[in-house]
Each structure stands twice: as C-alpha cells, then as structure tokens.
Amino acid sequence: MHLIPDPAAAPADTIGFDQFLAVDIRVGTIVEALPFPEARKPAYKLLIDFGPLLGRKRSSAQITEHYALEQLVGMQVAAVVNFPPRQIGPVMSEVLTLGFPDAEGKVVLVQPGTAVPDGGRLF
C-alpha cells in the first residue's frame, strides 16, 4: 500500500495522543522483494516479516528510484499495520510501508538506525 502526500502541504491539524496511538506503526524485515510490472507507477512487491505476533504481510512500494531489489531483502522498515488491506492492481497490499520524499519527491524508506526486534511498535 503506498500513497504519496504532497510534501509541500501545510502541517496537519493537531491530534490527540489517543489518535496517534490508533495508528499502529511497526518495524519488520523485508524477506522478499519482487518486480511489480503491472503497477501504474514503478514499484516493487514486498513481503515483510513483523515477527511472531503479526507474521508476514504484503506491501507494494514505489521505491525503485533509490533501491534495487537485491538490496531490499534483509532491510528493516517501518509500516502502518492496521489499515484495511488495499487492492493495488493484482496485489492485495496489507500494510503501508513508510518513507519520506527526497528533494525530487522520490521515496526514501523509514528505517531504524540500529537493528531492533521485528514487530516492535513505534512510540
């Protein structure tokens, strides 16, 4: 699942802490990365392992500008794991893999600076 917001947009409205807690952001390790030629915009199909509690989830990510398929396997990434699944072409994306735009608007993945256990929740 991948949606790109406008990086030049004004800051979002203030939310309460309970609203923040409602967004479940977890860390997982990419265990499979495949081409996604059917995508409208260049993207990869990812299988991410979020540990024993959540298991493995699928995602589609528009990250082809900065990442080659072979470098993705083994990489830890952050993802929203409690959005409903979303059909992206022939792929059912179960999580939203998170990233920030670079200066040209291309996605740079959110990653922990040090290896952490898969399934850990952002706080």
- Give the HSE-up count for residue 73: Cα atoms under 13 Å, Cβ half-sphere: 7
Q: Which of 13-17, 24-28, 116-120 has the lowest mean pLDDT?
A: 13-17
According to the model, what pLDDT value does residue 2 have? 44
Q: What are the φ and ψ backbone dihedral angles of 17, each rounded to 5 degrees?
A: -60, -35
- Going by pLDDT thresholds of 50, 70 and 90, the confidence category of residue 4 is low
Residue 3 has pLDDT above 80, yes or no: no
pLDDT, tens only, 82-94:
999 999 989 999 9
Domains and CATH numbers, the chain: 25-109 (2.40.50.140)
Average pLDDT on 48-77 reads: 97
Q: Which of 3-7, 82-86, 92-96, 114-118 has the lowest mean pLDDT?
A: 3-7
According to the model, what pLDDT value does residue 105 have? 92
